[in-house]
Amino acid sequence: MRTFYVTTPIYYVNDLPHIGHIYTTIVADTLARFHRLAGEPVHFLTGTDEHGQKIERAAAEQGIAPIALADRVVARFHEVWQQFGISNDDFIRTTEPRHRLGVEALIQRLYASGDLYVDKHTGWYCTPCETFYTEKELLPGNLCPIHELPVERQEEENVFFRLSRYQDRLLEWYDSQTEPVRPRVRANEVRSFVASGLRDLSVSRSNLAWGLPFPGHPGHTVYVWLDALSNYITALGFGRPGEDQRYQDFWASEGGVRLHLVGKDILRHHCVYWPAFLMAAGLPLPSTVFVHGFWLRDAKKIAKSTGSAVRPDEIVSRFGPDSLRYFLLREMVFGQDASFSDEGFVDRYNSDLANDLGNTISRLVTLSRRAFGGLTPPESCADNPLIPVAESVAAEYRQAMEEPAFSRALEALWKLLAETNQYIVERQPWTLLGKPEEARRLSRILWNGLEAVRIVATGLLPVMPAIAPRLLAAIGQPEPPSSLAALAWGGLANSVPLPEPSPLFPRIDKAAYLADAQPTAPAKSAPEKKMVSIDEFFKTELKVATVQAAEAVPKSSKLVKLTVDLGDEVRTVVAGIVQQYPPESLVGRQVILVANLEPAKLMGIESQGMVLAASIDGLPVLLQPERAVPNGTRVK
């Protein structure tokens, strides 16, 4: 029998839950619920990663023990998961004894395979941090990124893992038929990284007390990623003989699905280190690592709607966690990045949840109650145009959920809603009200509509675990089904009570909501300073140039056309400075030019650059080198 094991990354407790954590966990939960409905044995694991430098330091800053800090954050995670209806079967913390036992067992296997050895490691060391940094992490000038103090070259002894030995096997794995790394872009990235050559990996740390003791290497702790990644099997009981039934069922069993959901920031750890560790230990690999994208704030949209921000908290408190679950799953093409905005949420909510779903239920329930004394229609209908649609929608939904491709699965369900509304309008059931001779016809029409809605609500059970049962109750089906078999046409009970309809998704007044969404905060009064990186700054090419010729632009009060010498080229530039600087005063003068500015036409003249000037009350004061320098000299 196929088993289904799904994991989220274990979340690092230096950070409170945010949209990224929530998204991954909702995805995992939706999959777990779907596969349970499909009748498969499911195990859904999430948890927290609690060791390491950052935790140690953050705890020290707050004057508490690392474990106390972790406890605090873990409590918060539990709260949030409860709020979102997360149905995880287990929650692993890397500070638990069961985890340590598993990690030790894994490391024993790595020793046994001959893949661990001790070697000297030289690196950039910051004494106050007691940490080695890679060159990339350092600030310019070899400064520690935390203390901004010079780091020094130091040597330490480490346990190394022979990652290099697994290069070929990893490449084979990426290319295997099952496509273990998805989507393909991500597989390409990892493949090219691995193909460029792997260095052995340091898997122990000295000077870090807040970690698991490294077996056989006193004074050292286990590298946080070796520690953390192991959770996927330690939580199942790996390394604890007699208590490892779940490990046997969900990891070691033939043909079981072992799915890791990860963000693209931890691709390498999950697609290089982790499988290599498992290969070395002689253990089964995950069947799929699914790498999803990030939620971004769309700068353009934010600017347009004057500063609407990502406010999942407010969305949840006002519209419920399931509305957010729906939005996240519907809006992101699984695997790609997507942007998150209040406007996007409101649009999606109104058009999909309020208009299509909520309103369709509302109109059907109202009609049925009126026609049949508060009950569902007495007569069913086994032959009508909605049936083939419902069947193809159910098939498409199941396929998309398997893939998984949530946006497509939901799109399919909504296709059925659209067809249902169309069907209702075509049949005009309201014209049949109060005509006894049309009662049977009316019953069939309304029954069909309600039945279609029942199928949609059934498909929504994994996505909106709190709301979907309420949708079903609203159409007279108070017991939510426990199997995907309920997606088949024909399940709606006849002549059962229909509760009075109440809007499950009240429409959002978009204008009011967005106006309300204006940051009460500082945005306007104290504009935040937008910093640019040195790289961004250097995108602007500033060069010294000498004005060779200048003539006022006819019919313009400010513009002057300049011919400037940039050393290796001569350009035409238009500048709005002629009121302060008569043309003849400009000739021979050196100016600073933005040399890579997009050309622009001013009064019909193409300006190939911009002359820099300070502006006092709108009046320009030209910048110029303190003494003459060669034309074309870069300014920085």
Partner RNA sequence: GGCGGUGUAGCUCAGCUGGUCAGAGCGAGCGGCUCAUAACCGCUAGGUCAUGGGUUCAAGUCCCGUCACCGCCA
Which tokens is 330 given? 């519907």
Cα–Cα distance list, 565 to 78, 198, 294, 359 (Å): 66, 51, 47, 69
By CB under 7 A, which span of 27-35, 185-193, 373-381, 394-402 interacts with RNA? 185-193
d(CA 492, CA 452): 9
**Beta carbon of residue 433, minimum distance to RNA (angstroms, whole number):** 7
Q: In the set 59, 159, 424, 460, which binds RNA (CB under 7 A)? A: 424
* Neighbour tally for 483: CB within 10 Å: 12
362 binds RNA (CB under 7 A): yes
Interior/surface letters 421-446, b for 16+ CB within 10 angstroms, e for the rest? bebbeebebeebeeeeeebeebbbbb
The least distance separating RNA from the CB of residue 534, rounded to whole angstroms, comes to 16
Q: Interface with RNA includes 367 (CB under 7 A)?
A: yes
Find the helix or strand (DSSP H, E) in which 252 lies.
none
Name residue 551's beta-bridge partners.
561
Residues in 306-335 that interact with RNA by CB under 7 A: 333
**Strand-pair partners of 622:** 613
Contact call for residue 530 and RNA (CB under 7 A)? no
- 144 as an active site residue: the answer is yes
| Options 359, 563, 572, 633; binder of RNA; rule CB under 7 A | 359
Note whether 40 binds RNA by CB under 7 A.
no
Run of H or E including 556: none
Q: How far is the CB of 555 from RNA (least distance, A)?
A: 33
CB-wise, 62 or 431, nearer to RNA? 431
Amino acid letter for position 485: A
Of 35, 99, 144, 381, catalytic = 144
Give CA–CA dist 93/235, Å, rounded.
Answer: 9
Instruction: Dig out the tokens for 258 from the structure.
Output: 């072992």
Catalytic annotation, pick one of 54, 78, 264, 301? 301
Q: What are phi and psi of 369, to 5 degrees?
A: -60, -40
Binding flag, residue 204, RNA (CB under 7 A):
no
Token pair in block for residue 409:
């699965």
Contact status: 515 vs RNA (CB under 7 A): no
147 is known as an active-site residue: yes
**SS3 per-residue string spanning 226-240:** HHHHCHHHHCCCCCC
Cβ at position 443, least distance to RNA in Å: 15
User: Could you say whether residue 169 binds RNA (CB under 7 A)?
Assistant: no
Give the residue with the Cβ less far from RNA, 232 or 340: 340
Question: How far are the Cα atoms of 88, 105, 357, 426, 519 from residue 371, in angstroms, in the given order?
Answer: 44, 68, 21, 18, 49
Interface with RNA by CB under 7 A: which range of 3-11, 168-176, 211-219, 505-513? 505-513
**Shorter beta-carbon distance to RNA: residue 239 or 321:** 321
185 touching RNA, by CB under 7 A: yes
Is 304 annotated in the active site?
Answer: yes
Confirm or reject binding of residue 268 to RNA (CB under 7 A): yes
136 interacts with RNA by CB under 7 A: yes
Reply yes or no on whether 21 is catalytic.
Answer: yes
CA neighbours closer than 13 Å in the CB half-sphere of residue 266: 19
- Of 88 and 360, nearer to RNA (C-beta) is 360
Establish if 354 lies at the interface with RNA (CB under 7 A). Answer: yes
Q: Residue from 505, 513, 595, 613 that binds RNA (CB under 7 A)?
A: 505
In whole angstroms, how far apart are CA 98 and each of 49, 105, 237? 14, 11, 7
Candidates 131, 114, 285; CA nearest to 200 is 114
* Active-site annotation, residues: 18, 21, 126, 129, 144, 147, 301, 304
Residues that bind RNA (CB under 7 A): 134, 136, 163, 185, 188-189, 192-193, 196-199, 201, 264, 268, 333, 336, 338, 347, 350-351, 354-363, 366-367, 418, 421-422, 424-426, 428-431, 501, 503-507
